[in-house]
Homo-oligomer: A and B are copies of this chain.
Amino acid sequence: MPESRRPRLVDVAERAGVSPRTVSNVLHNHPHIRDSTRKKVEEALVALDYRVNLSARALAGRNTGFIALVIPVLDNPYFSSLAAHVIEACAARDWTVLIEQTSAQEDRERNAVFGPASRLVDGVILQLDSIPEEELSRRFSHSSLVLIGEEASAAWADHVAVDNVSAAREATEHVLALGRRRIATAGILPSGLNTTSELRYRGVWQAMEAAGVSLRTDYLLEVGNFRRPDGADAAERLLRLDVLPDALICYNDLIASGMLAKLREAGVSVPEDIAIVGFDDNEESQYQAPPLTTIAWDLGAIAQRCVEQLVERSQPGGDSRPPARTFVGHELIVRESTVSTRP
């Protein structure tokens, strides 16, 4: 087989008997093209099996067709599901998504947002983790940025806001309404740097305060991370206490899953002995034994809004628009880990 080079725009143009620019116009659905011309070009396109060189297009043109999604980890159902939704939303617009996995390391997050790849993308969707907002706002200028996070943050960038404090408050109120008073909470990070953890704690605290129930310090369970083994660890510490709590707010479903498994092993019954609430509504949570009460975010809506905001920014004049803020709601999904259906 001859080592033939890939066809270029000029090759297509030559074959179709038009100028390269016309071929480009056809590819971009330029409004004024005679049908006969379009037909000729399209035939040549097919005959040569032409595929545009995205590097060249990006270099010459205004935008690249890439956006970056910067998240801590991919093998967490919350983020992989978010990523799947973002990819779907982008596919509809012929955008390609670069997923940058930071492993929650600040230097990697910084590299994702400021490094070479950031030059390549038309926009960035960032689940803000450790970069200080102040630094972001100072250095970010070259493309659009959508933050996923708190209502409180960022009056300087578009963002899609979720309300962790309210969500945590509602979760806690739910178990309080069930009559539970010895409430423990799992998901405090020792570093205190992670906003999500802090805000969920704050919500729990608010609900307790409002109900006049005290929060025992030995019921504040630290975790190294937000994964299942961290939940299991926390459960072991919990089981060593003299008095077990009667309710447990876990800051995500993975922690809850780890706790659930260990408690089951120890013969603690859920929800009779301990009611458990999680966050995120991972699909697996409804298949747990017992199915897990949890806070559900509308990930589809979050992804959709992020992409829409990127679209709006990239529209002519979108640059000068004031930062937009969208609130995406949440919902407490009550399942058997807090409310038994057994007789």
Contact = CB atoms under 8 A, between A and B. Distances in A.
Most B CB contacts (10 A, CB to CB) among A51, A54, A81, A260 go to: A54
A98 interface: yes
A288 B142 CA distance: 47
A303 to B, nearest CB: 12
A99 B84 CA distance: 10
A264 to B, nearest CB: 6
Given A99-B87, A101-B87, A257-B284, A51 B115 contact: yes
Interface residues of A, number: 52
Contacts of A119: 6, 51-54
Interface stretch (A30-38, A39-47, A56-64): A56-64
Interface in A205-263: 228, 232, 257-258, 260-261
A188 interface: no
B97 A99 contact: yes
Contacts of A118: 51
Contact of A84 (B73, B260, B287): B73
Contacts of A51: 114-116, 118-119
A119 B56 CA distance: 11
A74 B64 contact: no
Given A51-B114, A288-B289, 19 more contacts: A1-B141, A51-B115, A52-B116, A53-B59, A55-B56, A55-B64, A55-B120, A59-B59, A74-B87, A75-B77, A75-B283, A77-B80, A80-B80, A87-B99, A91-B101, A258-B287, A260-B287, A261-B287, A289-B289
